[in-house]
């Protein structure tokens, strides 16, 4: 399956934090032909193993997305919602959403709200219900919704909601398909609840107890007008080798190995330092007595909005770099 098509397939699946069953089923189906073992743990992490004689290497890409959860249904049929992860009300305003059962709606600010200081409590979801009775036939309190924006490509750049982090799930699926078994004992983990506190990766890394860990995720950029320099990377400059973020200072040995492999194989790379935000690497590296952990990042504009943007060439370079690390001799 081509990379764009794979990302589109993953984005069509439901999977906000804590409700990842839909996306887990899709990934499990796609991974099964290339895996020696596919399991799911108590927290819902999907663990795909490709056995080898070398040390245990854990690749992690979180499969959950940010989203909304219904907290109240008003008598007029409008829904009040809470946030699952880093939702910005201003960025969500007037954006279409969809529920797991197919019901669709739109995020709307109240007329009296100050848009400059907009809070989620001042917004509602309009699903077209005439009153609460009709609304309750469509959704229930506790149901979750996600952005329903379209996906498209312009000039090699893909625009879509939830590139964070479905694009990295696609990367791991491509690596799983490409790597030869036998060199290292590989665990491709599609984690849960990263967006609400890197929760799934904590239990997964504890049970796997890897010698090496690589978190694959998106990272913020420094290439747009008025950039606040939250990140250090640019679209189109290659795979980003993580040096640090707010959750981890990456192991120097892993950073060096990734850059060495990239140089040997002619893979364009850039260094990723993220001033705010973290990844599953933050949980992996402190597991048991410690794990040599790094990260491979996809440069991404407009993270956590309904219109995230990434470069498909950068994404392919991330596939190549992750595959190189998976098959190199470690330890």
Catalytic residues: 194
Nearest to 160 by CA among 76, 65, 238, 68: 65
Query: Would strands 152-154 and 37-40 be described as parallel, antiparallel, or unpaired?
Result: unpaired
Backbone angles phi, psi at 35, to 5 degrees: -110, 150
- Specify whether the CB–CB gap between 144 and 67 falls below 8 A: yes
82 burial type by CB count under 10 A (0-12 exposed, 13-18 middle, 19+ buried): middle
Query: How far are the Cα atoms of 80, 138, 168, 230, 298 from residue 11, in angstroms, in the given order?
Result: 24, 23, 12, 26, 16
CA distance 155 to 263: 26
Nearest to 30 by CA among 158, 168, 172: 172
- Specify whether the CB–CB gap between 151 and 160 falls below 8 A: yes
Backbone angles phi, psi at 155, to 5 degrees: 55, 35
């Amino acid at each position: 399956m081509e990379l764009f098509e794979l990302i589109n397939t993953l984005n069509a699946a439901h999977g906000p934090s804590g409700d990842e069953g839909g996306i887990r089923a899709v990934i499990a189906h796609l991974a099964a032909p290339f895996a020696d073992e596919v399991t799911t743990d108590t927290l819902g992490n999907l663990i795909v193993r490709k056995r080898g004689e070398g040390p245990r290497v854990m690749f992690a890409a979180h499969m959950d997305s940010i989203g909304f959860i219904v907290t109240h249904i008003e008598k007029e049929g409008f829904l009040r919602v809470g946030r699952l992860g880093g939702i910005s009300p201003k960025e969500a305003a007037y954006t279409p959403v969809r529920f797991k059962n197919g019901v669709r709606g739109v995020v709307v600010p109240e007329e009296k709200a100050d848009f400059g200081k907009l809070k989620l409590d001042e917004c509602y979801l309009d699903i077209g219900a005439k009153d609460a009775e009709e609304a309750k036939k469509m959704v229930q309190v506790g149901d979750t919704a996600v952005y329903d924006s379209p996906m498209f490509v312009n000039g090699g750049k893909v625009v879509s909601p939830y590139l964070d982090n479905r694009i990295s799930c696609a990367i791991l699926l491509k690596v799983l398909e490409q790597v030869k078994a036998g060199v290292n004992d590989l665990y491709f983990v599609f984690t849960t609840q990263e967006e609400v506190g890197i929760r799934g990766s904590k239990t997964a890394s504890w049970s796997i107890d890897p010698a090496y860990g690589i978190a694959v995720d998106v990272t913020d950029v420094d290439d747009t007008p008025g950039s606040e320099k939250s990140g250090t990377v640019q679209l189109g400059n290659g795979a980003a080798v993580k040096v640090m973020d707010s959750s981890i200072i990456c192991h120097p040995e892993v950073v060096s190995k990734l850059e060495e492999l990239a140089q040997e194989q002619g893979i364009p790379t850039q260094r990723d330092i993220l001033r705010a935000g973290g990844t599953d690497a933050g949980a992996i590296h402190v597991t048991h007595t410690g794990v040599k952990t790094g990260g491979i990042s996809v440069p991404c504009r407009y993270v956590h909005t309904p219109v995230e943007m990434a470069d498909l060439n950068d994404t392919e370079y991330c596939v190549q770099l992750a595959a190189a690390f998976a098959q190199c001799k470690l330890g």
